[in-house]
Structures are given as structure tokens and as C-alpha cells.
Structure 1
Amino acid sequence: MSQEIDYQIEPSLTVSEYIAVLQSSTLAERRPIDDVPRMDRMLRQADIILTARCQGDLIGIARTLTDGSYSTYLADLAVAQSFQGRGIGRELIRRTHEAAGLHTNLILIAAPGARTYYPHIGMAAHDSCWIIRGESPLHPRLHHEFG
């Protein structure tokens, strides 16, 4: 028996639920989850927070920044590992793009383990992405890996 997944835009999602869903996926290892104030700012400054819930439990999130005209950056796409492979990520992407405007370009940086997933759902690879990492050599205090 398949469980129904409820999708909704949740601008007031709590930071504790946000961190928990990242931990239940593989994305937490690439996010500053121990810095709760920073995680809360990441959540509050997003333009679209789209969630997937199963029986009320948060099992997926798409956290997005957009200008609503040209660019839509899908900053976080996370689905709990126990729910992966059911089309939830694809549906979060579809609904996110719809909410931002299908006329925008939806952009994301794939986590290393998810690089083969995106072509499978019809996304095209882009050959040039340039990043200045936070606290990079341009800001010499620290250097963090991005992903």
C-alpha cells in the first residue's frame, strides 16, 4: 500500500524540522547544521520553502531563492533516505519550478552522490559554474568545501 505524500509551501517551517529532514537525507553533511542561527537565516531568507510530508512527518524539502523573472536557484533538495526512489524529489522540483514561474531557469548544484539523478529526470548539465566559497582566499580566514 503506497502512502500519500502531501506537498505544500511552508514559509514558517521550523528550523528544527529543516535540520531533521537534512539529517534524514544525505544533505546534512554539506550544510552547517550545528550553527542553528545560520540555518534559521538560510530558511527565513528563502523565497520558496516547499515541503513533502507523509502522515504529517516532514520527509522532503526544496529550499529556493528566485527573482521570479529569470533565475530560480534550488539551494536545497533533500528527501529522507527511507523515501528516496519514489519520485518525491522530482515532484518537489516540478512544484518548485511551477511556484517560481516556469519561465524562469531552474538551477541547482548537485551533491556529489546525486549527479546521476538529475539527467535521469530531464535536467541538462551545465559546463560552467563558478563559485567564490565563503571565507575563501578572497576572504582569507577559512576555506570550506562546497557541495
Structure 2
Amino acid sequence: MTTASKVLYASEPTLGIAEFRRVLVESGLGETRPVDDGARLKKMLSGANLVLTARLDVEGKPLLGVARGLTDFAWVCYISELAVSQSAQGLGIGKGLMDEARRQLGPSVAISLISMPDAIGFYERIGMKRMPDAFWFGRKG
């Protein structure tokens, strides 16, 4: 990323599966997501009602990161993925995506997520509060 380049944050409900898959793999989340199952990735995208992207403002507008979530736009939003390509990590892209989510959702909507262990420090640095009372039924497959 050049210093003259600008990052564009936007809602992108029609994000393509190939770009979504690429960012998941490049971010490291490919190890925990079904990146080799295109039909499942398609369902993941079509089932989300909040898909935010970070793109470099240059020709071709390459995708740097994505935030995918489910929300009622009134009370709560669950962010199911926050993925930033490794080459763009540390440049504020993840924080920018979360800031865009907060901007689009407004101050009356809470945002929750389940962090990967190595990302806990990031979420704490951007001001998210760790919640001890989360519960989980694991998936099979």
C-alpha cells in the first residue's frame, strides 16, 4: 500500500465469493473457515445483512479486508468475521472496518463478536470490552 493510496470503506452486500475467500485465506482465518466449500461461503455471504469492505482506492480497487455480520439494525450486531489480508494488517484496516460498522449501525446498536485467541489484544486496543459470559454450541462439520 502506498502512502498516497486511500482506503475506501463501504457496504458491499454483493461481495463475490472469490474475493471473500481470498481475504479469509490471506488473513489467516482460512484455517478456521470452510474456504474450500464455495456453496457454504455463498450461504455465509447471502445470510449476512451487513457486509463491509475495505478497498484500496486505486485501479481495480483491490479488497484489503471484510467485516461480515448479522444485525437487526436496532439493538445488536454480531460480527462473524473481521478479516484483513496479512499484507494490510497493522495499517488500521480492521479498526477502520469496525469504525465503519459503528458509523452505519449508529450509537444505539451494540456490537458483539467472538475473537480468535491471537486477536484479543486488537479488540481490547480498539476499545471493545471483554465479556466473560459468552456461551457456545460447537458445530459438527
Distance 1:12 1:113 in 2: 29
Match of 1:116, SS state, is helix
Write the mapping of 1:56-75 to structure 2, written as runs, cut at 5 A.
Answer: 56-75=61-80
Name the SS of the counterpart of 2:21 in structure 1: helix
Equivalence map 1:127-138=2 (5 Å): 127-135=132-140
The within-5 A match list for 1:15-34 is 15-34=17-36
Deviations, residues 117-138 of structure 1 (Å, cap 9, x unaligned) = 1111111100011001123xxx
Query: What is the total number of aligned residue pairs between the two structures?
Result: 136
Give, in angstroms, the shift of residue 62 of structure 1.
0.4
Instruction: Kindly state the Cα deviation for residue 103 of structure 1 after the two structures are TM-superposed.
Output: 0.7
What SS is found at the alignment partner of 1:115? Answer: helix
Q: Give the equivalent residue in structure 1 for 2:7.
A: 5
TM-score by length of 1: 0.88
**Contact kept? 1:72, 1:97, Cα under 8 Å:** no
Residue type matched to 2:116 in 1? Answer: A
CA contact (8 A) 2:64 2:93 kept: no
Which residue of structure 2 lines up, in the alignment, with residue 92 of structure 1? 97
Query: How far, CA to CA, are the matches of 1:99 and 1:26 in structure 2?
Result: 26
CA deviation after TM superposition for structure 1 residue 98, in Å = 2.0
1:116 alignment partner AA? G
- 8 A Cα contact 2:69 2:77, kept in partner: yes
Unaligned runs of 5+ in 2: none
Of 107, 116, 124 in structure 1, the residue corresponding to residue 112 of structure 2 is 107
Contact 2:54/2:93 (8 A) holds in 1: yes
In the TM superposition, structure 1's runs of 4+ consecutive aligned residues that sit over 4 Å from their partners are none
1:43 is matched by which residue type in structure 2?
Answer: L
1:138 is aligned to none
Instruction: Report how far residue 24 of structure 1 moved.
Output: 1.1
C-alpha deviation, 1:8, in angstroms? 1.2
